[in-house]
Amino acid sequence: MKPFELTIAQARAELDSGKLSSRELTVSCLDRIKSVDNDIHSFLSVTEEEALRQADVADKQIASGGTEALCGIPFSMKDLLCTKGVTTTCGSKILENFVPPYDATVVEKLKNKGAVILGKVAMDEFAMGSTSENCAFDVPENPWKPGYVSGGSSGGSASSVAAMECLGSLGSDTGGSIRQPASLCGVVGMKPTYGRVSRYGLVAFASSLDQIGPLTRDVRDSAMMMNGIAGYDKRDSTSVQESLPDFTASLAEGLQGMKVGIPKEYFGDGLDAEVAKVVENGIQILRDAGAETIEVSLPHTEYCVAVYYLISSAEASSNLARYDGAVYGYRDQDAESLIDMYRETRSKGFGDEVKRRILIGTYALSSGYYDAYYKKASQVRTLILNDFQKAYESCDLVISPVTPTPAWRRGVHADDPLALYLSDILTISANLAGIPGMSVPGGFSADGLPIGIQLQGPHFREDTLFKAAYNLELGTQLANKCPDIA
Amino acid sequence: MKITRNEVEHVANLAKLNLSEEELARMTGQLDTILSYVAKLDELDTKDVVPTTHAFSINNAFREDEMQESIPRDKALQNAPKDNGESFVVPKII
């Protein structure tokens, strides 16, 4: 087994026993990036020198008895997490040359624990998209099948983990952007409860929905990364002061007494037969492990896409007002007046999808339409939240597909944004309700494309999801699987 | 029609975006499709439903009003598209 093929937990054991150094592990990942990333295009930037420097520091810490679980482990970061001194583009031309003067809290936390950061990975511009094709730079491939999308918006995070270019990655999830690419690329993706992880230094898209979380090659690694990034941060006033469990503690617990809800609305028309079969198999695995299953109803599921695209676009139109060319980012230098500078900068700096969402959001918030669109959507959001609260009175978590289909060919939805929005129907509700959601590899299509299984739990019950996910993984035997790419 | 070309032009103006003729035509069509779809929400009676802006209520997060270090000027200016060493420079406003 080559070092880059190790899971985080396996690498930890090798590093601690002295069989492997962080430098060797980091070099192994960097070599892997060199050999496969010309085809996969996960990385927008690789910070080799800095990574090796961090690895050497980690090796000293380990030699002197350091006990941090992520010390010496190489990761990739979605390119919307601010990294001090390293370009952070958010997949947009408007931030093409932006070099943050500070680290995002999650980046700082990982660095303080001795983690190694290999570089920044591709994403849809401003995290708006479901395929990463809206990236203004390189578009990542699905490592399992050339020409197929890696998903989005954290497509580069998912492809870098699936192609074994790093041992884990941090992504962000506003409507499924961690879970969906994780599902399409056959890795584990966790979107924590809203407020569980600080978003200080995350380039904002929709502030009432955005959440940072890990993408990894197995469930234990996901829990280990959560231990590294979760917790209250005074610099993010939406982060919450909840007690923090050891997220790895629940993995070994059995499922006796667990009630798993099956939401009938998630198995409706348009669900691919192969996806349905994989999820049914997952349900059986949980039953065999001791869980009880019951049917539950989330009756407002069919409204979640409409609610999401109004609320997220409204918030985005406000968040993205800051990109005016005045203090950072791209500026059109030819504009003669201030207003022209704003207009030219924004028109040249933003891509198509970002403009579309700014227009929808501005419209939904504009005088005369606010009540009909933004307020209405916020009211239906309450109904969606109530659905989950009611469901969790009778079950501990719900199981479902992550996406209605496996990955599709690149370019398929280029002229039909609504069709692409509709593919997010199964992941959006978790963000609207603020609950944790997870994607775990469940199987493969006949074409060899990965299919994930989604678990969603009550607020702050990531531990329940990890426990169920770990049992699923034992049943599917799909931990740490890599496509044959090199 | 849920939205007209003139309305899209108005909204683009509010959002400080210039749209070409081609973009304006395309965006009007796409926005109309999207807004027609979201009209689905009108099926629901929400007269007495309280809107949700955050998934759970978070109270104001206060902290002590203490002096803290901030980013030094040179760092704050490091990403400036144009500066004079002390301030950001923008086209004349008045």
Q: List the domain boundaries for chain A.
A: 3-252
Rg (CA), chain A: 21
Tens-place pLDDT, residues A408-433: 999 998 778 888 888 999 999 999 99
Bridge partners of A43, per DSSP, are A121
Interval B84-93 mean pLDDT:
94
Q: Does residue B20 form part of some domain?
A: yes
What's the first-to-final CA gap in chain A, in angstroms? 14
**H helix intervals, B1-94:** 5-14, 21-38, 73-76
Q: How far is A165 from chain B (nearest CA, A)?
A: 30
Q: Does residue B27 form part of some domain?
A: yes
C-beta neighbour count of A418 within 10 angstroms: 15
Lowest mean pLDDT among A266-280, B22-36, B46-60: B46-60
Split into its structural domains, chain B has a count of 1
Q: How far is A159 from chain B (nearest CA, A)?
A: 30
Buried b (16+ CB within 10 A) or exposed e, A162-184: bbbbbbbbbbbbbbbbbbbbbbb
Bridge partners of A437, per DSSP, are A191, A456
CB contact (8 A) between residue B17 and residue A385: no
Q: How far apart are CA A280 and CA A297, in angstroms?
A: 17
Whether A60 is a known active-site residue: answer: no
Q: Give me B68's structure tokens.
A: 């803290």
C-beta neighbour count of A60 within 10 angstroms: 11
Whether A153 is a known active-site residue: answer: yes
pLDDT of residue A420: 86
Q: How far is A344 from chain B (nearest CA, A)?
A: 7
Interval B13-31 mean pLDDT:
97
The dihedral through the CA atoms of A327, A331, A334, A337 has a sign that is negative
ipTM of the complex: 0.96
Scanning every residue of chain A, which has its alpha carbon at the shortest distance from the alpha carbon of B10? A363
The more confident residue out of B58 and A288 is A288
CATH architecture of A3-252: Alpha-Beta Complex (3.90)
CB A103 within 8 A of CB A201: yes
Scanning every residue of chain A, which has its alpha carbon at the shortest distance from the alpha carbon of B15? A362
Distances A474 to A13, A220, A339, A373, B94 between C-alpha atoms, Å: 20, 11, 59, 45, 68
CB A174 within 8 A of CB A210: yes
E-state strands within A86-203:
116-121, 168-173, 188-191
What's the DSSP call for residue A28? H
Bridge partners of A439, per DSSP, are A189, A454
Work out the widest C-alpha separation in chain B, in whole angstroms: 57
The CATH number covering residue B17 comes to 1.10.20.60
CB contact (8 A) between residue B15 and residue A195: no
Tens-place pLDDT, residues A194-241: 999 999 999 999 999 999 999 999 999 999 999 999 999 999 999 998
Which domain, by its residues, includes B30?
5-37
Q: How far apart are CA A468 and CA A464, in angstroms?
A: 6
pLDDT of residue A303: 97
Q: Under DSSP, is residue A119 helix (H, G, I), strand (E, B) or coil?
A: strand
Whether A445 is a known active-site residue: answer: no
Which parts of chain A have pLDDT scores under 50? none
User: What pTM, to 2 d.p., does this model score?
Assistant: 0.97
pLDDT of residue A486: 63
pLDDT of residue A418: 86
Q: Give me B14's structure tokens.
A: 């509010």
Chain CA centroid to CA A45, Å: 19
CB A153 within 8 A of CB A400: no
Q: Which helix (H) or strand (E) holds A105?
A: helix A105-112
The dihedral through the CA atoms of A369, A373, A379, A385 has a sign that is negative
Nearest Cα residue to A166 out of A202, A128, A210, A217: A217
B58 neighbourhood in chain A, CB within 8 Å = 195, 237-238, 240
